[in-house]
Amino acid sequence: MSKSTQTPDTEDHTARLVAVGRNADLEAFEGLFRHFGPKIRAYMMKRSADRHLAEELMQETMMTVWNKADQFDPARGAASSWIFTIARNARVDAYRKSGRPAFDPSDPAFVPDGIMAADTMMEMDQEAGRLREAMGSLPPEQVELLKLSFYEEASHSMIAERLNLPIGTVKSRIRLAFSKLRDALGERS
């Protein structure tokens, strides 16, 4: 922004912000705070009916202005634009944080499962071994169909398309594979 288009008031805010950035000028910051504090509070109140939140966000904005004033570049824009960008970002951050549920350490998703009993683990390992052995007795094309269907969770139509087989063939081969597995595991129903 060129000097000719700036008003004396705009030049004053720019000079104050530069002074805060260079020298941590408390008097210059006080002038900025008196001018922009109420405007930022009003801006926040328009976007949120919560007076307490508006005050808090105004304070947060002005603290950021104090802490980051050295990053302000008058050649890139007016002090007011820079300050209100900080205000907008503070409001967006607050909105994002408010949408997050509070962390509940007793939430079942965060509670680890209990340790399985040793006898249960051993039983599951034995069952898995029996299943692997039974799968080993099947023809390779049936094993492939079962793996696609149950490990990769592919639908019958997806399997038929992938293997270039009719869907009826896929279904009948899967049923046949189950029948052979039941026989091998001794689970006739």
Q: Residue 3 has what pLDDT?
A: 46
Please name the amino acid found at residue 55: E
Q: What is the pLDDT of residues 94-124, one digit of tens each?
A: 888 877 666 677 777 777 777 888 888 899 9
The reply to whether 118-185 shares the fold of 3-98 is no
pTM of this structure? 0.49
What are the tokens at 105? Answer: 């350490």
Q: Average pLDDT for residues 2-30, to the nearest whole number?
A: 79
Predicted confidence (pLDDT) at residue 8 exceeds the cutoff of 80: no
The answer regarding whether domain 118-185 maps to CATH 1.10.10.10 reads yes
Burial level of 126, CB count in 10 A (0-12/13-18/19+)? exposed
Predicted confidence (pLDDT) at residue 29 exceeds the cutoff of 60: yes
Q: Where are the domains of the chain?
A: 3-98, 118-185
Q: Residue 6 has what pLDDT?
A: 53
Q: Phi and psi (nearest 5°) for 186?
A: 70, 35
The CATH classification number of 3-98 equals: 1.10.1740.10
Q: How far apart are CA 120 and CA 118, in angstroms?
A: 5
Predicted confidence (pLDDT) at residue 7 exceeds the cutoff of 80: no
Helix %, strand %, coil % of the chain (to 5): 75, 0, 25
Predicted confidence (pLDDT) at residue 189 exceeds the cutoff of 60: no
Residue 134 — very low, low, confident or very high, per pLDDT cuts 50/70/90? confident
Q: Residue 118 has what pLDDT?
A: 87
Q: Residue 2 has what pLDDT?
A: 45
**Can you list the pairs that 38-41 forms with residues at least 24 positions away whose Cβ atoms lie under 8 Å?**
40/83, 40/84, 40/87
With a pLDDT cut of 70, the percent of the chain lying above it is 90
Q: What is the pLDDT of residues 46-89, one digit of tens each?
A: 887 678 888 999 999 999 999 999 998 889 888 999 999 999 99
Q: Average pLDDT for residues 8-20, to the nearest whole number?
A: 83
